[in-house]
Amino acid sequence: MKPHDFRKLSSALKELTPHQRQLLMDRLQPAAQASASYQLVETRMAEKPVCPHCAHEQVSRWGFANGLQRYRCNACRATFNALTDTPLARLRHKAKWMDYAKQLVEGTSIRKSAAALGIHPNTAFRWRHRFLTLPNGQQAISLAGIAEADETYFLESQKGRREGLSRAPRKRGCKASKRGLSEEQTAVLICRDRTGNTADFMLKKADKAHIGAVLKPLLAADVILCTDSEKALAAVAKEMGITHRPVNLAAGQRVVAGVYHVQNVNAYDSRLKEWMRRFHGVATRYLGNYLGWRRLIERHSREISATDFLRAALGIDRVQHAMGT
């Protein structure tokens, strides 16, 4: 629109009735959401450009394609855009991503989010797991000070790819008979230090060897590890030579010496389980994505915004992290 016409339009806005104003806002809303999605995607490259092929930092703008700025690497000459090499590359309907991120913030079902956005449920399903790919891999790599560790269990589920779309199997969601022992369950070790750094691990087996394999790289040598006196965890602590403060919950003990307890990790587990209920049991092969989703929410003090979510899905914060900021 010509500047002159725009000024005329702009001043005419004052004459709108409340009803007309609402109509106009409803028409502008999708456009505003679309540009928010595109802007955020572009941020990934605009903040600190780097070639996804060779990691060179000198890149040139190289025209537009599919609504996105293209770049060319000054070193390897490859062209790319802000989505190249991300889990969101080649997904369509970018304009709706910010709205979709909002659905993820709210934990809306596949069906409802598909209906809200006017996309196919298969698309909503694919987006969910693409958006969660990077959050799945983002967790604390080191815990310090007082750290709490506890095992929790999720029912094994062979739920098909089209999770949430097919009719629920009859037995879905029922409790497994033997906690902790049964092959019907997947063990997850949750570790959290007192500053809120959190890491979790799906274990093939909740024994000393498997627990040791994930705890050794995670715990600093001077960590004080609090557990609910679980034997395998005690054995790992002993082998690592770190201080171990078991709390005998079974005997009614809750806190040792005023500070050693597992209340943070247990509270985290309760919030995780409570939040997971809305999904009515998730396929074991996707459990890692849900654990990452929950960690992402918790990292944002449970007040995550759609922008935060989309940034995480795009790896924007991670890119900055890798650059040493």
Residue from 48, 53, 72, 271 binding Zn ion (CB under 5 A): 53
Edge to edge, what strands does the sheet with 68-73 contain? 59-65, 68-73, 79-81
Q: How many CB atoms lie within 10 A of CB 219?
A: 23
Residue 72 makes contact with Zn ion by CB under 5 A: no
Tell me which stretch binds Zn ion (CB under 5 A): 7-15, 20-28, 43-51, 181-189: 43-51
Distance CA 71, CA 77 (A): 9
**Of 1-9, 52-60, 61-69, 110-118, which part binds Zn ion (CB under 5 A)?**
52-60
Q: Is residue 20 within 8 Å of 28, Cβ to Cβ?
A: no
Q: How far is the CB of 211 from Zn ion (least distance, A)?
A: 41
Structure tokens at 104: 């993820």
Listed ranges 72-80, 84-92, 160-168, 198-206: which one lies at the site for Zn ion (CB under 5 A): 72-80
Is 45 near Zn ion (CB under 5 A)? no
Is residue 194 a contact point for Zn ion (CB under 5 A)?
Answer: no
Backbone angles phi, psi at 49, to 5 degrees: -65, 140
Label residues 98-128 b or e (16+ Cβ within 10 Å = b).
Answer: bbbbbbbbeebbbeebbebbebebebbbebb
Determine if 24 is a binding residue for Zn ion (CB under 5 A): no
Does 40 contact Zn ion by CB under 5 A? no
Task: Provide, rounded to whole angstroms, the least separation between the CB of residue 63 and Zn ion.
Answer: 17
Residue 54 makes contact with Zn ion by CB under 5 A = yes
Tell me how crowded residue 17 is: count the other CB atoms within 10 A of its CB.
8
Residue from 73, 83, 104, 140 in contact with Zn ion (CB under 5 A): 73
Q: What residue ranges bind Zn ion (CB under 5 A)?
A: 51, 53-54, 56, 73, 75-76
